[in-house]
Amino acid sequence: IHSYEQFTYLSSRDCKIKFNIYLLYLTRPKDLTKNYQIHIDIYEKMSLIYRGSLLYPIKFSFLPVQRLAYIAVIPRHNEKLQSCSNSHCIHGKCIVYYNNPQNNTFCQCYPGWSGRYCAIPYTCTCSSDSICIGVSAYNRSICICPINKFGYQCLIATTICQMNNNLTCQHGGQCIPVDEYMSSSNKKFSCICPKGYSGDRCEVVDNKIILTFEDDIVLSQSIFIHFIEVIDSIDPIRTTTLRTIPLTQNSLTIFWSQPFHLVFIEFYNKIYYLAIIQKIHQQSTTIVNKVKLSDRCPHISELFNETFVQLNLIRRIKYYLLPCQQNSSKLLCFYDDTHICLCYDHRKQRVANCFEFNHNMKLDCLSQSVCEKDGQCFQDTEDCPARSICICRPCFFGARCQFSSNRFGLSLDAILGYHIQPNISFLNQLPIVKISLVLTIIFLIAGFINGVLSSITFNNKKICEVGCGLYLLDSSITTLLTIILFGLKFLILLLAQMAIITNRLFSQIQCLSLDCLLRICLNMDQWLNACVAIERVVTIIKATNFHKKKSKQIAKIVIVILVIFTICTDIYDPFYRYLIDEDNEDEKRIWCIATYPSSLQTFSSIMHT
């Protein structure tokens, strides 16, 4: 390591800031026989969790000075690190670079070890609550400091965030001290504001907008909300955000800090509704409005004939006042391919006021899509996006298109998950959740009693003299296990979606094991029932020539084979099952989903259908 710098990056504060860093070679002139690279490590400041590393090679190393410009893509929270196997990493682990140039890897050393293969020991001088990630060329430890410490060894405490809340962040905002890299700034701290507040110190109460929709309006799960600020002498300023409407609701609550005069709701298939009009923007107010079917903005093709629509814009736009006059007060707005027009009264006349509106603004997420099942990802702004949503293909749904409504992918999570409200007590949950719990308890009690009584009944020497008795006995035990596993599945789903269970390791273990065990038990029970049917057919065909002892011996062998067969044909499930995080302002959930290749779906259907 010739030289290094470190700084704190806060997306809401630093997204449009260019960081200028000067890195110096250790010796002059530098060794031209060596290759030099820029290595970037990314850690979360609050938790000191490692996010990933980036590698940028320095080309044309013969130049004495180089000016390099890079856009560093920060790995997403909880994104799985791509590890590798390298036996040369003695006291460390092999990590693949996130930007992965030529599949390069490196050894991430444990504290107290350095070098290419983590074989060189050194004494870490960082404070106990920091992380030691290496040693510089001058034998100085490189430390990652916690949020309230700074300095080369993280020994200097900052007290700016321990001051009176009225002097730092208000309304429960999180205080972030400005690090030494930004010491030239007049600010001593920054605030991360909770939902509903904004400003340098979270002192401003945002506008709260509550929108409900008429029952006749067909809602899509994801919508665009366009805020328009009208300013004299310049074009209106448009700001777009994205929201998802939960399956069980027909209302939407938005907190908005920026000034606006018009609000348009856009569904994915280019259907617009004029939701709010206010002549004077009022800050820190609550606006409640019901979006009606009459608020829809039709396309000009619905108002004019096809010949008119094909006219040049200059010849066409002068007639745009006609729909406003002909439809009186019923028509509030309409749009063409480049404009949105408002109809309103002016000096006792109905007129149209049009402004440019880009209907085809490209807001896709580029290479950072989080959507599953080939869903289309959209972000709220081209630069510095704060939110993203997924538009799902047919037969898929969920905030990240993680659920499928086809027969292979439908699960308890998909059926009930979105009806369970996070951070709300069970007594205040939706009726469907309460009814589901009652029905599950009834099924558990009935299934448990049935399984126990069936096991007692078929655990009889006389009944087990033939193979059919053994099949029924094993089927009773399998049914009992299935009922118990289903009860655990329902309980864990309920507690996890209510945010009572938050341990990620536990969620990961149950995700990989519970669904796989359920599949094995269900498939095993179906095969056992099939064996019962086959043996009964054989009994009828052979009649008096049927051998009980031989039937029992065959049944024992078949049961063992079925257990091995069922496990082998379902063992792939954990390898295609993983956790995903649905994390936005409205809800925070963790889902267990499975993504199977089409070949495996066909294989499973053949084996167990």
Instruction: Dump pLDDT digits (tens) for 327-354.
Output: 767 889 999 999 999 998 888 888 889 9
Average pLDDT over residues 533-551: 85
- DSSP assignment of 177-227 equals E--GGGTTSS-SEEEEPPTTEESTTS-EEPEEEEEEE-TTS---SEEEEEE
- Cα–Cα distance measured from residue 200 to residue 161, given in angstroms and rounded to the nearest whole number: 14
**Cα–Cα nearest to 221, from 199, 252, 195, 190:** 252
Tell me what pLDDT residue 363 has: 65
Domain spans in the chain, listed from the N-terminal domain onward: 1-149, 158-205, 207-356, 411-608
User: Do 168 and 174 meet the contact criterion of CB atoms below 8 Å apart?
Assistant: no
- Give the pLDDT band of residue 543 (cuts 50, 70, 90): confident
pLDDT tens for each residue of 93-150:
898 888 876 778 899 999 889 988 899 999 999 998 999 998 988 888 999 998 888 8
pLDDT tens for each residue of 215-240:
888 887 778 899 999 988 888 988 88
Asked whether the CA dihedral 75, 81, 85, 87 is positive or negative, the reply is positive
Residue 493: both structure tokens together: 């789903």
Q: Count Cβ neighbours within 10 Å for each residue of 126-165 and write b for 16 or more, e otherwise.
A: bbeebbbbbbeeeeebbbbbbbbbbeebbeeebeebeeee
Average pLDDT over residues 403-428: 76
CATH of domain 411-608: 1.20.1070.10
pLDDT tens for each residue of 248-290:
678 888 899 889 999 999 987 789 999 999 988 888 899 999 9
Residue 296: both structure tokens together: 């829809």
Tell me what pLDDT residue 609 has: 64
Q: Is the pLDDT of residue 424 over 90?
A: no
The amino acid that residue 557 corresponds to is: I
Poorest-pLDDT segment among 170-179, 383-392, 425-434, 543-552: 383-392
Total-model pTM: 0.71
Q: Is the pLDDT of residue 185 over 70?
A: no
pLDDT tens for each residue of 442-491:
999 999 999 999 989 888 888 888 888 899 999 999 999 999 999 999 99
Q: Is the pLDDT of residue 409 over 60?
A: no
- Cα–Cα distance measured from residue 113 to residue 125, given in angstroms and rounded to the nearest whole number: 13
- Give the pLDDT band of residue 21 (cuts 50, 70, 90): confident
**Cα–Cα nearest to 114, from 126, 97, 132, 127:** 132
The DSSP bridge partners found for residue 251 are 212
Rounded to an integer, what is the distance from CA 306 to the centroid of its chain? 43
Average pLDDT over residues 56-70: 85
Tell me what pLDDT residue 584 has: 65
- Give the pLDDT band of residue 406 (cuts 50, 70, 90): low
pLDDT tens for each residue of 574-594:
888 888 887 766 677 888 888
- Any idea how long the chain is? 609
Residue 235: both structure tokens together: 């074009």
Q: Count Cβ neighbours within 10 Å for each residue of 333-367 and write b for 16 or more, e otherwise.
A: bbbbeebbbbbeeeeeebebebeebeeeeebebee
Question: Could you tell me what percent of the chain has a pLDDT over 90?
Answer: 26
Q: Is the pLDDT of residue 416 over 80?
A: yes
The torsion of the CA quartet 500, 504, 505, 509, rounded to 10 degrees, works out to 80
Residue with tokens 């007692």: 456
- Residue 448 phi/psi, 5-degree rounding, is -65, -45
Could you count the other beta carbons within 10 Å of the beta carbon of residue 173? 21
CATH of domain 158-205: 2.10.25.10
Tell me what pLDDT residue 408 has: 44
Tell me what pLDDT residue 518 has: 92
Tell me what pLDDT residue 101 has: 64
Q: Is the pLDDT of residue 595 over 90?
A: no
Residue 521: both structure tokens together: 């038990």
Tell me what pLDDT residue 410 has: 55
Roughly how many angstroms between the first and final C-alpha of the chain, as a whole number? Answer: 60
Q: How far is CA 211 from CA 243, 273, 278, 332, 430, in A?
A: 12, 12, 15, 18, 21
Tell me what pLDDT residue 83 has: 74
- Cα–Cα distance measured from residue 418 to residue 218, given in angstroms and rounded to the nearest whole number: 19
